[in-house]
Structure 1
Amino acid sequence: MAEPAKEADLSRAILEIIREAGGEPRLIAVQDILEGLRERGLAEHLETSPPDDPCTALAAIVADLPEIASLASRSGQTLYHDPARLSRSYARLLDNQDAPDRLLAEAIRSHSRDYPRPVPVELFEKPPFDLASSDVAAILDAMAVKPQFQDIATIRTSTGTVYLFSSLYLPRAHAAFLAQQDATLSMNP
Structure 2
Amino acid sequence: MAREELEKQEAKDAEVNESVAESVDESVEEEGTEAVAESELATEAVDSEQEAEKAREEALEQKLAELLNYIRHQSREGELVNIADLKFAENFPEEDRAEVMARLEASEEIKRLEASDGRVFLYSSAFMVDRYAKTLLQREENDPRLLVAETVREESQLYPRPTPVNVFTLPPYKLPKQILDTVVAELVADEGDYADIKEVIASTGARYLYSDRHLEKQYAEYLVEWQEVGQYENQ
TM-score (norm 2): 0.63
Say if 2:78 and 2:172, in contact at 8 Å, map to a contact too: no
Larger radius of gyration: 2
Moved more, 146-155 or 129-138: 129-138
Alignment of 1:95-106 (within 5 A): 95-97=137-139, 98-106=142-150
User: Cα distance 1:169–1:5, how it changes in 2: closer, same or farther (>3 A)?
Assistant: farther
Q: Out of 95, 115, 127, which is 1:48 matched to?
A: 95
State the distance in 2 between where 1:66 and 1:48 align. Answer: 23
Which of the pair is proportionally richer in helix? 2
Percent identity between the two aligned chains: 25
State the distance in 2 between where 1:105 and 1:125 align. Answer: 14
- How much does 1:146 deviate? 6.1
- Does residue 11 (structure 1) correspond to residue 64 (structure 2)? The answer is yes
State the distance in 2 between where 1:103 and 1:131 align. Answer: 10
User: Cα distance 1:159–1:25, how it changes in 2: closer, same or farther (>3 A)?
Assistant: closer
State the distance in 2 between where 1:78 and 1:61 align. Answer: 16
Q: Out of 119, 127, 134, which is 1:77 matched to?
A: 119
User: Cα distance 1:108–1:161, how it changes in 2: closer, same or farther (>3 A)?
Assistant: same
Q: Out of 221, 230, 234, which is 1:176 matched to?
A: 221
Say if 1:74 and 1:95, in contact at 8 Å, map to a contact too: no
- Does residue 31 (structure 1) correspond to residue 102 (structure 2)? The answer is no
Tell me the SS of whatever aligns to 1:163.
strand
- How much does 1:187 deviate? 4.4
TM-score (norm 1): 0.76
- How much does 1:112 deviate? 1.6
Q: Which amino acid aligns with 2:95?
A: T
Which consecutive segments of 4 or more residues in structure 1 shift more than 4 A?
A: 2-7, 56-59
State the distance in 2 between where 1:26 and 1:156 align. Answer: 32
State the distance in 1 between where 2:82 and 2:121 align. Answer: 5
State the distance in 1 between where 2:143 and 2:191 align. Answer: 14
State the distance in 1 between where 2:73 and 2:190 align. Answer: 40
- How much does 1:147 deviate? 2.2
Say if 2:199 and 2:207, in contact at 8 Å, map to a contact too: yes
Which has the higher relative contact order, 1 or 2, with Cα contacts under 8 A spaced 6 or more apart? 1
Say if 2:82 and 2:122, in contact at 8 Å, map to a contact too: yes
Moved more, 110-119 or 179-188: 179-188
Q: Out of 211, 217, 235, which is 1:166 matched to?
A: 211
Q: Which runs of 5+ in 2 are unaligned?
A: 1-52
State the distance in 2 between where 1:73 and 1:185 align. Answer: 41
Alpha-carbon displacement from aligned partner over 1:12-33 (angstroms, at most 9, x marks no partner): 2221121122233321122222
Partner in structure 1 of residue 165 of structure 2: 121
Task: Output the aligned Cα RMSD.
Answer: 2.8
User: Cα distance 1:146–1:65, how it changes in 2: closer, same or farther (>3 A)?
Assistant: farther
Alpha-carbon displacement from aligned partner over 1:97-125 (angstroms, at most 9, x marks no partner): 32221221232122223322111222223
Say if 1:156 and 1:162, in contact at 8 Å, map to a contact too: yes
